[in-house]
Amino acid sequence: MAKIRLFIDHPLAAGQPVPLDQGQAHYLSGVMRQREGAEVAVFNGRDGEWTARIDRLAKREGTLMPVAQSAPQQDPPDLWLVFAPIKKARTDFIVEKAAEMGAARIMPVQTDHTNSERIRQDRLQAHAVEAAEQCGGTFVPEVTDLQPLQRMLSDWDPSRRILWADESRVGVAETLAGLPAGPWAILIGPEGGFSGNERRQLADLAHVVPVSLGPRILRADTAAVAAMALWQAALGDWGGG
């Protein structure tokens, strides 16, 4: 369990040296107290997980040598998570949880009731990387820039269905088992819910499927995990459906 896993945005292949940047070298030498000759696990989101030997390690630089692939590349199912950013700590949690739960793409949107004007996309992307390092995955979901919900909906390819966690439908959850396979997105609203205009617009779209998540009101971060669990079990790679 103490295995060191490092995301490195560099091609991985046997015998092809991989340079460490300052942060990675500091993490391995200063934080994890690794020495030259030690082995760590690395992945780049494309080439699976590799066992790599630390060939050279200074305080601010170093070189890894990939030895052998330890796990094949495993991409998550084609599920996006669309959510309205909330307070900072909970937004970080949503991104972390989405990466753990196997979202392929994480899309913050601005809604009528969203407080944030902007997000730190780079910080959220770093959270997604860290979650992938911790959860043993070989894939890192892209976190997109904040965009208005209106624009996202008008640009949307309707062949990707949207599972809309509609908090006005608090009650009996629908079963997801009958829903068609294919590309999906889960849409989670802000605290305070979607506005009347947004609700009417969503209800009018044929590719939007409203669902309820039970009789209690869930916070946005809880709703995101719960909806993704149901989707993964019914249609995704949890295979329970």
Q: Is 182 helix (H, G, I), strand (E, B) or coil?
A: coil
Q: How far is the CB of 5 from a copy of itself (least distance, A)?
A: 11
Number of continuous H segments (helices) and E segments (strands) in the chain: 6, 12
> What is the rounded CA–CA span in Å between residue 234 and residue 224?
15
Q: How far is the CB of 195 from a copy of itself (least distance, A)?
A: 12
Residue ranges that bind a copy of itself, judged by CB under 8 A = 1, 74, 76, 93, 96-97, 100-102, 134-137, 170, 172-176, 191-193, 212-219, 222, 225-230, 232-233, 236-241
Roughly what angle, to the nearest 10 degrees, separates helices 220-234 and 88-101? 10
Q: Cα torsion for 29, 35, 38, 43, to the nearest 10°?
A: 20
Q: Which is nearer to a copy of itself, 125 or 222 (CB)?
A: 222
Inter-CA distances, 231 with 70, 77, 137, 179, 205, Å: 29, 10, 19, 10, 20
Selection from 139, 133, 148 nearest residue 27 by Cα: 133
Q: Which is nearer to a copy of itself, 76 or 85 (CB)?
A: 76
Q: Which is nearer to a copy of itself, 62 or 96 (CB)?
A: 96
Q: How far is the CB of 174 from a copy of itself (least distance, A)?
A: 6
Q: Which is nearer to a copy of itself, 20 or 81 (CB)?
A: 81
Q: Which is nearer to a copy of itself, 21 or 100 (CB)?
A: 100
Q: How far is the CB of 74 from a copy of itself (least distance, A)?
A: 7
Q: How far is the CB of 78 from a copy of itself (least distance, A)?
A: 15
